[in-house]
Structure 1
Amino acid sequence: MGDWTVVSMTGEIDLATAPQLRQEVVRVTSGGILRLALDLTGVDFMDSIGLGVIVGALKRMRAHGGELVVVCDEPRVLDLLRLTDLDRILTLRPSLDAVVS
């Protein structure tokens, strides 16, 4: 995807799965990337722990002068991001194609 690194997750992001996502974000960002797309198009549920992983990814990218885009089209996940006002600080896109355009 050009100069974007993509980390994809499917299913649920919760207590059981969030550590895997966090570990993958840390792994890919340790290489000095400047553009990270979190592809959550396959995610149908996320709890507050998942939100914490996304905020952590945003902080990590900003600390290194990078950019984070969250790719999501699931209404329930988008509602959660809006309810918590994270849609105000995150760059949200409905598809990976929309990230590069």
Structure 2
Amino acid sequence: MIEFAVETRDDGIGVVTPQGRLNMVSARRLKEILAELVGGGTHRIVVDLGETTFLDSSGLGALIGGLKSARQAGGDLRIARVSPAVMTVFELTNLDRVLRARDSVDGAFDD
């Protein structure tokens, strides 16, 4: 079972850290978490994938849905600390062009 660490930092950025396998079962919960953050006024979100060991198309769909919601609210969603195995999934689907991986959570919104 995957766990999610969720934090809203002092600078207003929401940080979500999926810990484990982000698959069809857990993607539903990620969608809910991202929707709750955006609905609660947190429009800049970083998904820290440093502790995510696996990602499938459902997980990608949840991330893209969160990206769309955040952007519609005037914010953005960024990914950080992506492992090589998970990065391969982004590259194979060309979603690495839509969700550019950042090296760190702290620097995800520095550009």
TM-score (norm 1): 0.90
TM-score (norm 2): 0.83
- The number of equivalent residue pairs is 101
Partner of 1:29: 38
C-alpha displacement at 1:65, in angstroms?
1.3
For the aligned residue pairs, the C-alpha RMSD in angstroms reads 1.4
Say which structure, 1 or 2, has more relative contact order (CA 8 Å, 6+ apart).
Answer: 1
Letter paired with 1:17: S
Identity of aligned residues (%): 34
Instruction: Work out whether 1:6 is the aligned partner of 2:15.
Output: yes
In structure 2, how many angstroms separate the alpha carbons of the residues matched to 1:98 and 1:79?
Answer: 22
> Could you list the runs of 5+ residues in structure 1 that have no partner in the other structure?
none
> Could you list the runs of 5+ residues in structure 2 that have no partner in the other structure?
1-8
Instruction: Work out whether 1:99 is the aligned partner of 2:105.
Output: no
Structure with more helix by fraction? 1
In structure 2, how many angstroms separate the alpha carbons of the residues matched to 1:59 and 1:45?
Answer: 22
C-alpha displacement at 1:79, in angstroms?
0.9
In structure 1, how many angstroms separate the alpha carbons of the residues matched to 2:65 and 2:51?
Answer: 20
